[in-house]
Amino acid sequence: MKIKLIFTYSFLGVFIAILIFYNFHSCNTHRYFQNLTLEIQYIGKENCQKCHEEIYQEFVKSGMGHSFYKPGSQPWIENFDKVIVYDSYSQLYYQPILIQNDLFINEFRLNEKNDTVFSHLWKIEWIVGSGRQTRSYIVENNGFLYEAPITWYSHKKMWDLSPGYHEGFNSGFRRPLGEECIHCHNGYSPFSEGTINHFQKIAQSIDCERCHGPGEIHVKNMEKDLMVDIGKGEIDYSIVNPKHLTIDKQLDICQQCHLQGIVVTRNGKRFQDFRPGLHLTQIYDVFTTEISNNQEFGIASHAERLKKSACFQKSKMTCTTCHNAHQPTDLSLSLQACFKCHSEPHQKKCSLKNENKNTQNCVQCHLNRSSTSDIPHVQFTDHFIRIIKNEQKSLNPKFIQEIQLFCQTQTSISKDIQARAYWNYYETRNSNSIYLDTIQKMGFQNPSLEAVKFYIHQQKWNKAFEILQQFKPTNLQEKVWWNILLAEVYENQKDYKSAIIYYNKAYELQPNQVQAKLKSILWTLNSSDGSIKSLEFAAKSLLEIYHKNPLDYFILLNLGKVFSDLRNYKDAEKYLIEALQVYPNGLDALLELEKMYQRNRDLTNADKIRKRIQSTQKVKDKIQ
C-alpha cells in the first residue's frame, strides 16, 4: 500500500510539473501578450507617435511608412509632361493630369480621323506604393475601391499599363481591390465582410500596429502610468515586441505580406484576423508555384526565396538580421550583417581585390538584382542568397502545361487543403482545365465554400447543395457567401423564387453586398408581369444600390434598361452614359443606348452609337 501511494504521489507530481511547464511554455509563446484577440482595437500610428517620436519620424520615411496615401501628401516624382499611354488591345488612351495638386487620369478613345469619340476624367483618391519601384492609383466611391489602369514605374521613369493589364487584360477602372490587397499595402482598414471591395474606413500607410499588434491596451496602460521597466529586461505584455517571439513567429510577421502566393484560409479566418505573436498557419496557409529554375522570382517573394538560402537554413537569421523595419531600406546590405556569421577567413575567399573588400558589399555577388516575373519595368533584389553563376534562363510559364503548388507555411498538408488551393489558383490565376482534373483527383474531404464553387462550376448542383447543407458558417463573411452560393445553385436549377430569397438574405446580412441585391432585383423583375408597377419597383431598388456604389457597371446598365422601358429616356441616357464612362467597351450598354435613341427617333445619336458599336465589336474580336 505504501509503495502504491508513493507511486501515486510521484506520478501526480510529474503530471503537475508537466502541466505547469506546458502552461508556462504556452504563455511564453503567444498567449501572454494581451493584444492578440480580435476584441483589442487598433488605434493608429499617431497614438504611438506621442511616446515614440524619434522612431515614428524614422519610420514614416521608410517605404512601409508611406505605402498608401492621399495624392499631394508626398512629393510628386511622376512626369506629367504631355504623357499618354495607349493600349492597342482596348484601343483606349490614358493621360495623367495634375491639377492644383490633385491627380486625374483622362481615359479617351480616338477614331480613325483622330477625333475624340469619348473621354472621361477620373479623380484619383489614393496612391499605392512609396515610389521606390512603382506608384499605382485608386479611385474610390463610398468605400468601394478600384485600381486605375496605368502605373508609374520609377526605375525607368515611365508610365505604362498597370501589372496584369497588358495583352488584352485591361479591365479599366473596374478592377476591385479586396481585403488581401489592402491588408498588405496599408495599415488596418476594416473590411466589410462578405463584400468584394468595400471598406468601412481606410488607413494611410502601413503602421506600427502591423508588426506590434493593436495598441489599445498598451496606450491605456501608459495613460494610467502602468509602466514596465524594459531597460531592466522586463517585458511589456500589453504590446508585442517581435524580439521576444520565437524565430518562426518573427518571420510570420513579415510573411503576412512578404510571402506572396495562393492563400487558403483556416476555420473561417480572414487576413485581418492575424495578429503579431500568432502563427500564420492559425489564420491561413500560403502556396507558391514552382514553374522554373532558381533564377525567376516575384516582387513579393522575399520569404520564399530567403528560405532557399543556405544562410537561412544553417543559421537563426530573420528578416531583421539585415533590415531595420523602422528605417528606410538600404538596397545594399552592410558587410556587418554578413559578418555576423561569416568571419575573417571567409572574407579572404572573396574574389574582389583587396582594396575593394571594404568598399564593395556582399549583395553585388550574392544577391541577384533583376526584373521580376510578375511586375514589369522594375529592378528588384532577389532574396535567395547564393553564389550567382551563369544560370539557365527561366522557362516561360505560358508554355508549361501544369504548375504544381507547394505549401510554404507547413511541411505536412492535407489533400483537402491542397484541393482548396488548386481551386483558388484556377479561379484567380489560371483557368486551365487541367487543374480541375487535379482537384477531382485530390477531392474535398471537408465541406468548404471552395468545394461548393468547384461543384457549381462543374454544374453538379445536387453535390453543391449537399455541401452547403453540411457547411456551417462561423462568421459574417461565410454567412454572406453561403447565402450567395445557395442562391446561385437555385438560380441554375431555375428555382428563381428561392434564389431571390437567398440573394436578399445575403444583402440583409451585408448591406454593401450590392451584387447580391442586383441579382435579386433582376430575377424579381424577370419573374414579374412586366407592368409599370414592377418596373418602377425595380427602378427604386436599383437606385438604392446605385447610391451605394455608382461605379458598378451592371447597376448602371440595368438602370438604363429599366428607365428606357419606362420611357424615361432622359434618365435612361444618363445612366447608360455613366455605364460607358465606367466601361467604355461595354457592348451591352452601347446596344441599349442605340435602341433607346431609335425608340426616341433620335437618329443622329443612334448613328453615332452604331459606329461606336462597330468599332467596339472589332476591339472585342481582337481581344478574344
Please name the helix (run of DSSP H) or strand (run of DSSP E) that holds residue 211, with its range, or none.
Answer: helix 209-212
CA of 413: how far to CAs of 284, 419, 445, 447, 466, in Å?
A: 12, 10, 13, 17, 25
For residue 314, pLDDT over 80 is answered with yes
At 5, the pLDDT band (50, 70, 90 cuts) reads very low
For residue 399, pLDDT over 50 is answered with no
To which residue does cell 508554355 refer? 399
| Core vs surface per residue 514-538: b (16+ CB within 10 A) or e | bbbbbbbbbbbbeeeeeeeebbebb
Residue 216's Cβ-side half-sphere holds a number of Cα atoms within 13 Å equal to: 10
Please compute the mean of the pLDDT values over residues 479-488 and round it to a whole number.
Answer: 98
SS3 624: coil
Range in 265-279, 332-346, 400-414 the model is least confident about: 332-346
- Residue 86 burial (C-beta neighbours within 10 Å; 0-12, 13-18, 19+): exposed
Is 485:456 a contact under the CB 8 Å cutoff?
A: yes
Q: What are phi and psi of 20, to 5 degrees?
A: -60, -45
CA of 563: how far to CAs of 35, 180, 551, 570, in Å?
A: 53, 37, 18, 8
Q: What is the pLDDT of residue 337?
A: 74
Q: What is the pLDDT of residue 2?
A: 45
Is 486:462 a contact under the CB 8 Å cutoff?
A: no
488-492, long-range: CB within 8 Å, 24+ apart, which pairs?
Answer: 488/456, 489/456, 489/461, 489/464, 489/465, 491/519, 491/523, 492/456, 492/459, 492/461
Question: Phi/psi class of residue 104: alpha, beta or left (left: φ > 0; alpha: ψ in -120 to 50)?
Answer: beta
Name the more confident of 549 and 327. Answer: 549
Q: What is the pLDDT of residue 303?
A: 92
Q: What's 568-588 look like in SS3?
A: CHHHHHHHHHHHHHHCCCCHH
- DSSP letters spanning 392-453: PPPPPGGG-S--EEEESS-SS--HHHHHHHHHHHHHHT---THHHHHHHHH--SS--HHHHH
pLDDT tens across 352-371, in order?
655 555 555 677 788 888 89
pLDDT tens across 526-568, in order?
999 999 999 999 999 999 999 999 999 999 999 999 999 999 9
For residue 280, pLDDT over 70 is answered with yes
How many Cβ atoms sit within 10 Å of the Cβ of residue 21? Answer: 10
- DSSP letters spanning 436-453: HHHHHHH--SS--HHHHH
Q: What is the pLDDT of residue 294?
A: 65
Instruction: Tell me which amino acid residue 423 is.
Output: W
508-511, long-range: CB within 8 Å, 24+ apart, which pairs?
Answer: 509/194, 509/476, 509/479, 509/480, 509/483, 510/192, 510/193, 510/194, 510/195, 510/476, 510/480, 511/548
Give dist(CA 531, CA 513) in Å, integer: 27
Give dist(CA 69, CA 177) in Å, integer: 15
SS3 352: coil
- DSSP letters spanning 99-164: ETTEEEEEEEEE-TT--EEEEEEEEP-EEES-SSSEEEEEEEETTEEEE-SEEEETTTTEEEEPTT
Mean pLDDT, the chain, whole residue set: 89
Give dist(CA 67, CA 185) in Å, integer: 6
Please compute the mean of the pLDDT values over residues 108-113 and round it to a whole number.
Answer: 91
- Residue 310 burial (C-beta neighbours within 10 Å; 0-12, 13-18, 19+): exposed
Please compute the mean of the pLDDT values over residues 447-468 and round it to a whole number.
Answer: 97
Q: What is the pLDDT of residue 22?
A: 42
Question: Phi/psi class of residue 62: alpha, beta or left (left: φ > 0; alpha: ψ in -120 to 50)?
Answer: beta
E strands, 11-83, are 68-69
For residue 473, pLDDT over 50 is answered with yes
- DSSP letters spanning 169-198: ---GGGEE--HHHHHHHSS---B-TT-SSB
At 467, the pLDDT band (50, 70, 90 cuts) reads very high
Give dist(CA 56, CA 200) in Å, integer: 26
What does the DSSP 8-state code read for residue 380?
Answer: E
Q: What are phi and psi of 72, to 5 degrees?
A: 95, -15
- DSSP letters spanning 262-299: EEEESTT--GGG--BTB-GGGTEEEEEEE-S-TT---T
Instruction: Tell me which amino acid residue 333 is.
Output: L
CA of 90: how far to CAs of 108, 551, 556, 590, 618, in Å?
A: 11, 20, 21, 15, 10
Class of domain 447-623: mainly alpha
SS3 613: helix
Please compute the mean of the pLDDT values over residues 382-387 and round it to a whole number.
Answer: 89
For residue 344, pLDDT over 80 is answered with no
Does this model's pTM top 0.85?
Answer: yes
For residue 27, pLDDT over 70 is answered with no
To which residue does cell 425608340 refer? 599
Helix 553-565 / helix 569-582 crossing angle, nearest 10 deg = 160
Instruction: Tell me which amino acid residue 583 is.
Output: Y
510-513, long-range: CB within 8 Å, 24+ apart, which pairs?
Answer: 510/192, 510/193, 510/194, 510/195, 510/476, 510/480, 511/548, 512/143, 512/144, 512/192, 512/195, 512/198, 512/548, 512/549, 513/194, 513/195, 513/480, 513/484
Q: In the numeric block, which cell numbers belong to residue 558?
A: 440595368
